[in-house]
A = this chain, B = another copy of it.
């Protein structure tokens, strides 16, 4: 059996209270007692039972992070950053990779609702899950609108769409195609589409948006991208939904004998450190992952402390000028 506080107390010939005091540096204690207790703890290799403490305090110091998949570079870097900041703030991280499976997400949510975590950061795609309606749990959303009560932290997707589109127009492109997720997903990312379309029209150009499901396999994505070249052989530039898609589009362009950027310009989205290392030439819009993470933590903390928050926090993006557009 693993030793418990009582065992330490017995061995040190003091009460449980005293041991607890030593453990938490609380109240007045003689140095002698402190030493005695420490010795007993060392001898037994005692580790306090975190769960018992959690029960009493009604607090777990755990934060849940619900995202589609940590294997995706954007969500991977986001999780990594959040974990670092949360750790500094005294929290540990419980992850749930929903893979955009509404069932799995709902299951996670229901379990986390049970005072398993002190707060929740969500960035999943299924925002219509019942449990979000009244979570009785501090929640913040990243880049997703869940419901009116949940504050959203997002980068400035409108600005990103504008930056990308004007950049391509400035570089001489007229026939520019945009790829994005399904329109019915009411995500802030749809503002990119809006910015793209507005910017195109403002320049007297015709916007064309291809819908690419976030979930589907790369081969299926490539099939969609091939359609672009088949249906619009005169396409001059593509503004992609993310950097991985941008890479796939560049590959497909190659199949059609197009050199980038001579025969086709490409601008990606996300600009994670990893993708900028691996594909430094890719022109892309960089999301401020660090700033978003800090803001998420700050707003979540406010929620936990029952302080008021804004509904939305929008952080600026920037263009990473590569060689592809």
Write the residues of chain A forming the contact surface with B, with a CB cutoff of 8 angstroms.
2, 45, 47-52, 54-55, 60, 62, 69-73, 76-77, 79-81, 83-84, 87, 92-97, 99, 104, 108, 110-111, 113-116, 134, 136, 218, 244, 247-248, 251, 272-275, 277-280
Q: Contacts A50-B111, A51-B55, A280-B251; is A70 near B80 (CB within 8 Å)?
A: yes
- Contact B278–A244 (Cβ < 8 Å): yes
Q: Contacts A50-B116, A116-B51; is A71 near B76 (CB within 8 Å)?
A: yes
Q: Contacts A45-B134, A48-B114, A55-B52; is A248 near B277 (CB within 8 Å)?
A: yes
Q: Contacts A54-B51, A70-B80, A136-B2; is A104 near B87 (CB within 8 Å)?
A: yes
Cα of A111 to Cα of B49 in the assembled complex, Å? 9
Our pick among B71, B83, B108, B278 for the contact of A279 (Cβ within 8 Å) is: B278
Cβ–Cβ < 8 Å partners of A111 in chain B? 50, 92
Cβ–Cβ < 8 Å partners of A96 in chain B? 83, 87, 92-93
- Contact A93–B94 (Cβ < 8 Å): yes
In the complex, how many angstroms separate the beta carbon of A200 from the nearest chain B beta carbon?
28
- Contact A277–B244 (Cβ < 8 Å): yes
- Contact B97–A51 (Cβ < 8 Å): no
**Could you pull out 24 A-B pairs where Cβ atoms are within 8 angstroms?**
A2-B136, A47-B110, A47-B114, A47-B115, A49-B114, A51-B60, A51-B116, A71-B73, A71-B76, A71-B77, A71-B273, A72-B274, A79-B95, A80-B97, A92-B96, A93-B95, A93-B96, A244-B274, A244-B277, A247-B277, A247-B278, A247-B279, A278-B279, A279-B279
Max count, chain B CB within 10 A of own CB: residue among A77, A80, A134: A80
Cβ–Cβ < 8 Å partners of A278 in chain B? 244, 247, 275, 278-279
Q: Contacts A110-B47, A116-B50, A278-B244; is A83 near B55 (CB within 8 Å)?
A: no
- Contact A49–B115 (Cβ < 8 Å): yes
Closest B residue to A92 by CB, please name it: B94
In the complex, how many angstroms separate the beta carbon of A65 from the nearest chain B beta carbon?
9
Closest B residue to A277 by CB, please name it: B218
Cα of A236 to Cα of B51 in the assembled complex, Å? 58
Cα of A50 to Cα of B58 in the assembled complex, Å? 11
Beyond the given pairs A54-B54, A71-B79, A87-B96, 16 more chain A to chain B contacts, judged by CB atoms under 8 angstroms and listed by A's residue number, are A45-B136, A50-B115, A70-B79, A71-B274, A72-B76, A72-B274, A73-B274, A76-B76, A79-B95, A80-B97, A87-B104, A92-B94, A94-B95, A248-B277, A275-B278, A279-B279
Our pick among B52, B73, B247 for the contact of A73 (Cβ within 8 Å) is: B73
- Contact B110–A83 (Cβ < 8 Å): no
Q: Contacts A87-B104, A244-B277; is A2 near B115 (CB within 8 Å)?
A: yes
In the complex, how many angstroms separate the beta carbon of A231 from the nearest chain B beta carbon?
23
In the complex, how many angstroms separate the beta carbon of A72 from the nearest chain B beta carbon?
8
